[in-house]
Structure 1
Amino acid sequence: MKPRKTAIITGAGQGIGLAIAEKLASQSVNIIINDLEEGLIAEACKRISSAHGVPAIAIAGDSSAEEVIEELIQTAITNFGSVDIVIANSGITLFGPFLEYSRADFMEVTRVNQLGTFFLAQAAAKVMKEQVNGGVLLFTSSVTAHQSHENLAAYAMSKAAIEMLAKNLVLELAPFKIRVNTIAPGATVTNRTKLDPDYENTWSEITPLGRPALAQDIASAAAFLVSDEANHITGQTLIIDGGWTSVSPSPYA
């Protein structure tokens, strides 16, 4: 019997991150999840362990903080002996028109989205390079890295940077059997987007497949990319948007 793999997933208290954690747990992967809200991930871990019978550990804190990154990596090694899958899913969206966008908001988006992803990947890769089977890194980008979206210049810039990071790391990490890919979700129904009562109807009208994604749709794609079934895929971005980027109508039109 193969030993269980261990996955670290940031921004996994709810939404896409939690859906990915649940999907991997259903495939008998040990789970370590991170989010800012301690109560949220503690409850998520209980649900994951109960439903799938695998260990699930919650690490609360800012995923871009050096001490939190170190705790995530050390928790995986101490409890499970390896760091096999790391999914840098944490992100922040701060809307604002370009001509009025503040330096403070720009720096916050950059800190969480770019710095957090970069240094989590770095810490994980330092461990993975010493492992016989290497490991897998997966970053969460966005369709806004591919198509213009009003009031999201800083966010789109940060997500495009993440995709280029994955592509660039192929050169340095492939020799250590470390794969690096990115998912770029489009409109997705989550607890956060449900706060907009028009969200589903609006995106259903402008998405070629007739509906926005569910978090489970994104999770299925993520689970494939970190699986052995994708063991010759690296440096790629998979857009998961029901065809929206092919036509790109604005939700504000």
Structure 2
Amino acid sequence: MNNQQQVSPPVAIVTGAGVGIGLAIAQVLAQKGYRILLNDLDPTLTQQATERINGSFPASCVGLSGDASDPSFIEQLVEAAVEVFGQLDAVIANAGITIYGDFLTYKPSDFERVLRLNLGGSFFLAQAGSRQMIKQGQGGSIVLMSSVTGHQAHKNLVPYGMTKAALEMLAKGLVVEVSEFGINVNAVAPGATVTERTLEQEDFVGIWSSITPMGRPASPEDIAHAVAFLVSKEARHITGQSLVIDGGWTSVSPSPYK
């Protein structure tokens, strides 16, 4: 049984993976031979993303739509991964929400939504994933999705930035909780990234190209390849770290606001 587990293709859960960075992460992992349990809140996006991956890569992908901030649903995600694929090797807590708002008028209901998904969803997915990896006895990897807004102040994004900074502390804190079980935990902090959502902003690419030292915002694949490395066997001695992927923006930090 142990020999079979060792040679089986690895299994990863990716939340918030219907579009954007999450979908790119699932695609890159599938390309590298991972079997994927893909989650998105939107059932249509979940189905479309799953079909897209299964139509492009030999590794299998199963979709499960639901609220990644709900601890009971998170348990279902882990149980489904094990039921379908027999194991769990990596967890990528990508699901998150951005709610812009002025600090002085920010609504308690919006504050609670941001914390519930960005922090609570990531915390309890890491918890459930760790429990399964400990049960298997083979170690594993967890990646939390932070942001440059957790490093630099960004107008109208104070609660969001708070959650992203906290996720980086979560990655550090889990070092003393799960390292003995062979589980490494890291955070990735994307900068401006071209996705369906960000392209809705006026001249997003032009503005961020002009203020990013590397001359362009990130692509989802820029983030996805970094995540794929952090969950690989080659990165197993890397833990408690936060990797900023922003083309150098946080080194100089010019504001996109005029």
Counterparts of 1:1-253 in structure 2, within 5 Å, are: 2-253=7-258
C-alpha distance in 1 between matches for 2:9 and 2:232: 12
Residues in 1 aligned to 2:121 and 2:22: alpha-carbon distance in whole angstroms: 15
> What is the CA deviation profile of residues 80-117 of structure 1, one whole-angstrom value per residue up to 9, with x for unaligned ones?
11110000000000111111111111111000100000
User: SS in structure 2 opposite 1:96?
Assistant: coil
TM-score, with length taken from structure 1: 0.98
Of the structure 1 ranges 63-72 and 107-116, higher mean CA displacement relative to structure 2 is found in 63-72
Q: CA deviation at 1:193?
A: 0.8
- After superposition, the CA RMSD in angstroms is 0.9
Q: Distance in 2 between matches of 1:132 and 1:161?
A: 28
How many Å separate the matches in 2 of 1:30 and 1:208? Answer: 36
Q: CA separation in 2, counterparts of 1:164 and 1:67?
A: 24
Unmatched segments (≥5 aa) in structure 2: 1-5
Secondary structure, counterpart of 1:40 in structure 2:
helix
Q: Shift of the alpha carbon at 1:74? A: 0.7
| Aligned-residue identity in percent | 53
How far apart in 2 are the matches of 1:91 and 1:164?
A: 17
Q: Deviation per CA, 1:40-92, whole angstroms, max 9, x where unpaired?
A: 11111111111111111111011011232111101111111111000000000
SS at match of 2:32: coil
Question: C-alpha distance in 2, partners of 1:131/1:66?
Answer: 21
| TM-score normalised by L of structure 2 | 0.96
State how far apart, in whole Å, the 1-side matches of 2:179 and 2:129 are: 14
Cα drift, residue 2 of structure 1: 2.5
